[in-house]
Amino acid sequence: MGILGVRVTKGHASIEAYSFLKHVLRKCINQPKILVDGGPWYKPALKRLKADWKHVTFGLRNPVEQWFGIFKHRIKRFYRNWPYNATVDSTQQWIDCFVSMYHFTRC
């Protein structure tokens, strides 16, 4: 399993989901089926992108939840120590590095 993208946003809105999904879909050769949870921000974004998608709670989406479990386990170590003045950009850079190292160690 490969992680195509993780993005830090200040909120949960369909415009943020649209921007992220559009960026991720540019990386895809084909038109993948996107599996989403119950977040209400996904439906308008996916309809606007005319993407093939399905709402699931368990099953195929499980590898994504497993990866986020690994990710959450790692960032729990920053409890009380994550820089209080960290910007969205610096946080995104840290996450990009984490994803790269995750891929590197799995190969």
Burial of 21 from C-beta contacts in 10 A (0-12 / 13-18 / 19+)? buried
Integer-rounded Cα radius of gyration of the chain: 15
Domain ranges of the chain: 14-106
pTM for the model stands at 0.74
pLDDT in tens, 62-103: 777 788 888 888 888 777 677 778 888 998 999 999 999 988
Evaluate the CA torsion angle 96, 40, 17, 13 in order and state its sign: negative
pLDDT in tens, 13-43: 999 999 999 999 998 888 888 888 888 999 9
- At residue 47's C-alpha, the angle toward residues 44 and 53, to 5°, is 105
